[in-house]
Amino acid sequence: MSAAATAGTWKLGDLEVNRIGYGAMRLTGNGMMGNSDGTPVDRDAAVDLLHSAFEQGVNHIDTAAFYFSPLRSANEIINRALSSWHGDVVVVTKVGPARDPSGEWRYTVRPDQLRGQVEENLRQLGRDCLDVVNLRAGGPRTASIAEHFGALAELRDAGLVRHLGLSAVLPEHVAEAQTIAPVVCVQNSYGLDWRRADESGLVDLCGEQGIAFVPFFAVSGLRREAAAGREQDARVQAVAHAHNATPTQVRLAWTLHRGPHVLAIPGTRNPAHLAENIAAGVLRLTAEELALLDKPDGSIA
């Protein structure tokens, strides 16, 4: 069994993936804003990193066309890595927001503009059909996603997309989308420090409907795209010490313990951190440890 398979598998529609995947957001820099002030990531090193992930059993990558820095594109690097890899890897991308070639954000797009975004992902990834496309909504304040999701459903019917998902949504958005086309995954910000998807019932709703729930910022939490810092949560430190594990592994393990439908997509450019992230799938937390981590005040008393 590969390292990434130790946490089990889940299906995105008819595509079975290991629950430990890889998020490409940091592949070209620190977060979606790129690394304009830093040295561009070495392409060969980035490809080697992805190959290492594949060798350890990662077969689910999360990406987007807007993950780029001045000289590097995550999709281009993924394309290069997959062109020299012979195994099956499911690539999940997202549309909705966009960035122009200079990096400026365009958050509002019309439904008819989504085809261009899908085609851009196809070109960059070198594919004729995208495995999964998530519609990233404008956030909880978005009243309806029907027109935009309907546009993606038409692209699915046209053969450009295999499966559809959602990102940054509420339960009512999932219900609305399900009346238009099947939803195979929901990607929201979620982790020990940010549990809005528990408060809204979204995590449990996805489990009940057989939809994969895919948290982002599961490790960084409230730091979001900031660089990793020293673990400040005494609960996480205590559990990590008990298992001779890293705090990051504990945070990932806690997330995976939320249900068999919950996937993990931690991202990194560090090969050692990549191996640690994947190894989190074997970490089994006790009921007492889960109760400790679930304390709302963060105490260990």
Catalytic residue among 22, 67, 107, 190: 67
How many residues can be counted in the chain? 301
Q: Per-residue b/e over 30-51, b at no fewer than 16 CB within 10 Å?
A: bbbebbeeeeebeeeebbebbe
Is 107 one of the annotated active-site residues of the chain? Answer: no
Residue 8 in tokens: 């089990």
Residue 218 in tokens: 């599961």
Q: What residues are paired with 15 via a beta bridge?
A: 12
- What Cα–Cα distance (Å) separates residue 204 from each residue in 44, 189, 243, 261? 41, 15, 28, 9
Locate tokens 């238009």: which residue?
Answer: 180
Q: Per-residue b/e over 228-259, b at no fewer than 16 CB within 10 Å?
A: eeeeebebbeebbeeeebbbbbbbbbbbbbbe
- What Cα–Cα distance (Å) separates residue 245 from each residue in 156, 194, 283? 42, 22, 8
- What Cα–Cα distance (Å) separates residue 48 from each residue in 221, 267, 270? 28, 15, 11
Q: Give me the half-sphere count of Cα atoms (radius 13 Å) on the Cβ side of residue 294.
A: 12
Q: Cβ contacts of residue 301 below 8 Å, gap of 6+?
A: none
**DSSP E strand boundaries for 111-153:** 130-136
- What Cα–Cα distance (Å) separates residue 100 from each residue in 69, 124, 141? 12, 15, 25
Catalytic residues: 67
